[in-house]
Amino acid sequence: MQEPQTTSPSGLDPRNPFDNPTENRDYNLDYSDILPPITAPGYELPVLPAKLERANIRRFYNLGGGILLLHLVATNVIATILYTIFPLVLSGVDRHLNGTLPDNYDSIVSSYISNSSLSMALNAFVFLLGNTGLFLLGCRWANIPMGSLFQTKKLTVPTMLRYMGLGLFLQLASALLATFVDDLLVKGGYGTYTPDFSLSGSKLQLAAMILSTCLVAPITEELLYRGFFLKVMSRVSQRFGIFMSALFFSLAHENIAQGILTFLVGILLGYIATKHDSIIPCIVVHFTINSYSMLTSLLNEFDQELANVFSGLTAIIILVGGAVLFVYTLIKERLPDNTPRQSLRCGRIAIGAWPLVLTAAIHIGAALLYMNVN
């Protein structure tokens, strides 16, 4: 149920000070955190933000970028520590049991970690800890109430199924687009990096991959990107927050194939979160997309013929049905718009938020380094 609209003595609604009818007012936080005079009697919101308002907006943009930058550093540090400790532990155990170690022991251990369930389990642990920890820290620093992320308003079962179908449609459409882009780059003498999702290995390795792909990623990535980051980047404009969260979610994957998918799906997930005031449906859509990919990979690993039949049939159903859902959604719904005052408080201020710029530059640089020159 939508909260009743309340106005301050100034006549402005602190949760919709720009009087934007295309936004979900319930999703917004109190704008007086950014502009305290907004509640003063007779106060009028200026067209251009004054120094105080501009500084406070940039403070939130800095916080959003800072948490993502800290996440980037923290996950790499944690991974380095874990991948340093485990070989030492294994060597200590083997030395205790066998007395001496072969000269190529380091390469043996490295190969064992890379090709066993241990590597996938370590990666899942790193992102579980990093995503969840930085989500909690970011919400605390930004004063985002946890309850505001899980309210799930105005969501019906048919609507949820439509979102799931749209997610699968965007997944396949982005795969076709990524293939086209990759072909163009190859013709230009470049090769793109594609992550390895092969499932060959032990049952433990398979279980670790399923756990990481179908549970850890959908839950913790949504907490960080659609929970904290979208919320803090939407302090002025929900439209700006949707596109910024999709962009940085895309950049974080540091490769073209996943980047195209995560940007397109990120827009859908950001819209869902702002419209329904919850990241729960975002987690469900994210889970659906990853689970479909995992199921396809599983079938491809154990029965190539069955995998081809399954992939072919489901691709036709998803592309045709998804196209219908996509057109229906475009007609029925739309992303929030910006008012002129909101537009003057978004991009030009965000460009001055150095943590955002630095984080984007690092991810772009990494993606370029992963590309191979033929």
Per-residue pLDDT for the chain (374 aa), expressed as one digit of tens each? 455 566 656 578 999 999 999 999 999 999 999 999 998 888 889 999 999 999 999 999 999 999 999 999 999 999 999 888 877 887 777 777 777 777 777 777 777 777 767 777 888 899 999 999 999 999 999 999 998 999 999 999 999 999 999 999 999 999 888 888 888 877 777 766 666 656 656 677 788 888 889 999 999 999 999 999 999 999 999 999 999 999 999 999 888 878 888 999 999 999 999 999 999 999 999 999 999 999 988 888 777 888 888 889 999 999 999 999 999 999 999 999 999 999 999 999 999 999 999 999 999 998 888 776 43
Amino acid at 116: S
Contacts of 139 by beta carbon, 8 Å cutoff, 6+ apart:
146, 149, 227, 228, 231
The torsion angles phi and psi of 326, rounded to 5 degrees, stand at -65, -45
- Determine contact, residues 65/356, Cβ cutoff 8 Å: yes
Measured on CA atoms in the order 241, 225, 72, 70, is the torsion positive or negative? positive
The beta strands (E) that lie in the chain are given as 190-191, 372-373
- pTM summary value: 0.91
CA distances from 276 to 6, 271, 319 (A): 20, 8, 26
Instruction: Give the pair of three-digit tokens for residue 191.
Output: 């090769």
Q: How many CA atoms lie within 13 A of 278 on its CB side?
A: 13
In order, the DSSP letters of 286-343 are HHHHHHHHHHHHHHHHH-HHHHHHHHHHHHHHHHHHHHHHHHHHHHH--PPP--HHHH
- Determine contact, residues 199/209, Cβ cutoff 8 Å: yes
Q: Cα(59)–Cα(63) distance, rounded to whole angstroms?
A: 6
